[in-house]
Chains A and B, each alone.
Chain A
Amino acid sequence: MSLTEKQIERYSRHIILEEIGGIGQEKLLSSKVLIVGAGGLGSPAALYLAAAGVGTIGIIDADRVDLTNLQRQIIHHTSDVGLEKVKSAANKMLAINPDVSVKTYHRFAKADNIRDIIREYDFVIDGTDNFPAKFLINDACYFEKKPFSHAGILKFYGQLITVLPGKTACYRCIFNAPPPAGVVPSCSQAGVLGVLAGVIGSLQATEAIKYLLDLGKLLTNTLLTYDALAMDFRAVKLSRNPNCPLCGENAEITELKDEEQPVCDLKSCKC
């Protein structure tokens, strides 16, 4: 593939970077990234990856845009309320950059569909908002050997880690299983500073691009934690856990299954 004149102009600020150049840009254009969740984290990730010229972007989400989403899910506009989130997200990505091919999956990521989807991509971004989905993505990426960026946000805090399955610490190495039902704060108790999603989701997009272009050092074996109130970033060093139920020495998880959603089920809860 060679860049057109328009593309050389569009991506000039990438191309003049010695570490990227025309070759790196062509690599991005032939790369495929899957974003699970078109919400707070997925919004900035999708916008930046589209702008960067990642050639194929897949996006999974079963929801429709709700007014309460707009405080942080910046890919969706007021006029999109009621629209499928994946459709709304695809419209914005294509408006930013017609070079990008967007694949939409208007469904919940589940044990019986996610592996087939993940298989088609080079890198996965976990932008989901619930623990069962986070464990599902971790496990599916492990079985499919796909690198991914995990992130979570809550109130004024965020965290992320990049996982190269089977090589670096995974989500289950840190958190064995979803928290028991009854301890997870309910929707009305939780909350999040909108811009926090932008900070963390943009970092996830950064990791995706670094992975695709083999640039720098990935955020592996390291949980980066962010405290917006203290304006403090901290890198917590981790290593693979020999007791990990997925990638440890005596792994008991040998196939993908859906974890129970504690407390609040996604359909009835307008979070």
Chain B
Amino acid sequence: MKLIMNGKDSNLEEGLTVSQLLVEQKVKMPEMVSVELNGKILKRSEFENTKLSEGDKVEFLYFMGGGNVSN
């Protein structure tokens, strides 16, 4: 299926969930990512059961600090 991942056209396996997409995209620390699906921020508890479909717009938004630390 075709969807738009972080503004880029991507071709992905049919029926992927958000959790699976995080794995597929090799996100090392999913706890540091907020996911926006078609303009709506998902709850973390929704990652597991939210299936992606053709034409979806997905954004991974990363926690960023100030370049010291912990950031």
Partner of B69, one of A127, A237, A238, A271: A271
Q: Does the CB pair B39–A183 fall under 8 Å? A: no
CB-CB contacts below 8 Å: B3-27 with A: 6-7
Q: Does the CB pair A72–B64 fall under 8 Å? A: no
User: Separation in Å of the B26 CB from the closest CB of chain A?
Assistant: 16
A3 interface hit (Cβ, 8 Å): no
What residues of B have a CB within 8 angstroms of the CB of A183 in the complex?
29, 31-32
In the complex, which range does the number of interface residues on chain A fall in?
35 or more
Partner of B34, one of A131, A174, A185, A192: A174
Q: Does the CB pair B41–A40 fall under 8 Å? A: no
In the complex, which range does the number of interface residues on chain B fall in?
20 to 34
User: Separation in Å of the B37 CB from the closest CB of chain A?
Assistant: 12
Q: Give Cα A180–Cα B34 distance, bound, in whole angstroms.
A: 13
CB-CB contacts below 8 Å: B26-70 with A: 29, 31-32, 34, 36, 39-41, 43-44, 59, 61-70
Q: Does the CB pair A241–B71 fall under 8 Å? A: no
What residues of B have a CB within 8 angstroms of the CB of A241 in the complex?
40-41
B interface, CB within 8 angstroms of A = 6-7, 29, 31-32, 34, 36, 39-41, 43-44, 59, 61-71
- For the complex of A and B, the 6 pairs showing the least CB-CB separation, nearest first, are A129-B66, A152-B64, A192-B67, A271-B68, A129-B68, A271-B69
A interface, CB within 8 angstroms of B = 37, 39-41, 72, 127-131, 134, 152-154, 157-159, 173-176, 179-180, 183-187, 190-192, 196-197, 223, 234, 236-239, 241, 243, 261-264, 269, 271
